[in-house]
Amino acid sequence: MRLQNKVAVITGGSSGIGRATALLFAAEGAKVVITDVNDAGGQETLDLIKAAGNEALYFHADVSKAADCEGMIAFAEEKYGAVHILFNNAGIMHSDDGDATGTTESVWDLTMNINVKGVFLGCKYGIPAIRRAGGGSIINTASFVAILGAATPQLAYTASKGAVLAMSRELAVIHARENIRVNSLCPGPLRTELLMKFLNTEAKKQRRLVHVPMGRFGEAEEMAKAALYLASDESSYVTGTSFMVDGGITSAYVTPE
User: Which of the following is catalytic: 58, 80, 125, 157?
Assistant: 157
Per-residue pLDDT band at 253 (split at 50, 70, 90): low
CA end-to-end distance (rounded Å), the chain: 44
Asked if residue 186 lies in contact with residue 144, where contact means CB atoms within 8 angstroms, the answer is yes
Residues 109 and 143: their CA atoms lie apart, in Å, by 19
pLDDT digits (tens, 9 = 90+) for 156-205: 999 999 999 999 999 999 999 999 999 999 999 898 887 788 788 888 88
Identify the burial level of 112 via C-beta atoms within 10 angstroms of its C-beta, where 0-12 means exposed, 13-18 middle and 19 or more buried.
middle
The per-residue pLDDT for 196 is 82
pLDDT digits (tens, 9 = 90+) for 222-244: 999 999 999 999 999 999 999 99
Residues 162 and 102: their CA atoms lie apart, in Å, by 20
> Please, which residues have CB within 8 angstroms of residue 156's CB and are 6 or more apart in sequence?
94, 97, 103, 107, 108, 111, 112
Asked if residue 89 lies in contact with residue 21, where contact means CB atoms within 8 angstroms, the answer is yes
**H/E run at residue 69:** helix 66-80
Q: Is 80 a catalytic residue?
A: no
Residues 193 and 41: their CA atoms lie apart, in Å, by 13
The alpha carbons of the chain give a radius of gyration, in whole angstroms, of 17
**What value does the mean pLDDT take over residues 1-25?**
98
The per-residue pLDDT for 254 is 56
Per-residue pLDDT band at 214 (split at 50, 70, 90): very high
The per-residue pLDDT for 199 is 81
pTM of the entire predicted model: 0.95
Asked if residue 88 lies in contact with residue 69, where contact means CB atoms within 8 angstroms, the answer is no
Residues 87 and 102: their CA atoms lie apart, in Å, by 32
Which domains, from first to last, does the chain contain?
A: 7-243 (3.40.50.720)
Whether the pLDDT of residue 51 is over 90: the answer is: yes
Share of the chain above pLDDT 70, in %: 98
Residues 95 and 179: their CA atoms lie apart, in Å, by 39
Per-residue pLDDT band at 211 (split at 50, 70, 90): confident
- Tell me the HSE value of 144 on the side-chain side, using a 13 A CA sphere: 22
- The sign of the torsion formed by the CA atoms of 200, 147, 219, 57 equals negative
The per-residue pLDDT for 193 is 81
**What value does the mean pLDDT take over residues 55-62?**
98
